[in-house]
């Protein structure tokens, strides 16, 4: 997949937070879930006819709150998709940078599978 621009919004219908260029595995379908670094997104629109293509995404605060619930204060999620094979990866780290859990999912899976696996490992680890 050639380079694309991710246009990220805090809320639907507002001005973009930023635009980030990346090499996605594929153009995600509208309405699909996506993770980029420390935030979950919902793909709201895909402009495949622009050069480079633009992927518009809205922050999904509910999913972020759901996945952070029960984790130690300051914990953060880092998740995303590999550009070469499309696999999803996630890890959860403590405020001091210790990796508490990791998860992976294949290219066809919901990206939240990788995050849920990392969260489960983290919760087991912190007991």
35-86 per-position pLDDT tens digit: 999 999 999 999 999 999 999 999 999 999 999 999 999 999 999 999 899 9
Q: Please indicate, yes or no, whether residues 116 and 79 belong to a single structural domain of this protein.
A: yes
| Phi, psi (degrees; rounded to nearest 5) at 65 | -60, -45
Q: Please indicate, yes or no, whether residues 76 and 50 belong to a single structural domain of this protein.
A: no
Full residue range of the structural domain in which residue 12 is found: 4-60
Number of domains in the chain: 2
Tell me the average pLDDT across 88-107: 97
What predicted TM-score, i.e. pTM, was given to this entire model? 0.92
> Is 90 exceeded by the pLDDT of residue 2?
no
Give the residue from 57, 47, 59, 40 showing the smallest Cα distance to 6.
57
Q: Please indicate, yes or no, whether residues 68 and 122 belong to a single structural domain of this protein.
A: yes
> Is 90 exceeded by the pLDDT of residue 34?
yes
> Using CA atoms, how far apart are residues 107 and 85, in angstroms rounded to an integer?
7
> Using CA atoms, how far apart are residues 18 and 109, in angstroms rounded to an integer?
27
Q: Please indicate, yes or no, whether residues 101 and 71 belong to a single structural domain of this protein.
A: yes
Q: Please indicate, yes or no, whether residues 108 and 77 belong to a single structural domain of this protein.
A: yes
> Is 90 exceeded by the pLDDT of residue 90?
yes
- Label residue 81 exposed, middle or buried (CB < 10 Å: 0-12, 13-18, 19+): buried
Q: Please indicate, yes or no, whether residues 43 and 75 belong to a single structural domain of this protein.
A: no
Q: Please indicate, yes or no, whether residues 56 and 79 belong to a single structural domain of this protein.
A: no
Q: Please indicate, yes or no, whether residues 41 and 75 belong to a single structural domain of this protein.
A: no
> Is 80 exceeded by the pLDDT of residue 1?
no
Domain at 106, CATH number:
3.30.160.20
Please give the pLDDT value at position 127.
Answer: 87
Tell me the average pLDDT across 76-101: 96
């Amino acid at each position: 997949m050639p380079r694309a621009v991710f246009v990220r919004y805090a809320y639907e219908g507002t001005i973009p937070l930023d635009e980030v260029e990346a090499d996605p595995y594929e153009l995600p379908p509208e309405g699909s879930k996506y993770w980029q670094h420390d935030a979950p997104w919902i793909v709201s629109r895909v402009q495949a006819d622009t050069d480079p293509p633009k992927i518009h995404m809205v922050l999904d605060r509910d999913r972020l709150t759901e996945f952070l619930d029960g984790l130690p204060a300051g914990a953060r999620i880092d998740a995303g998709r590999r550009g070469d094979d499309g696999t999803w990866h996630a890890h959860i780290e403590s405020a001091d940078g210790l990796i508490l859990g990791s998860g992976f999912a294949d290219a066809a899976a919901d990206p939240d599978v990788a995050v849920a696996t990392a969260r489960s490992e983290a919760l087991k680890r912190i007991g």
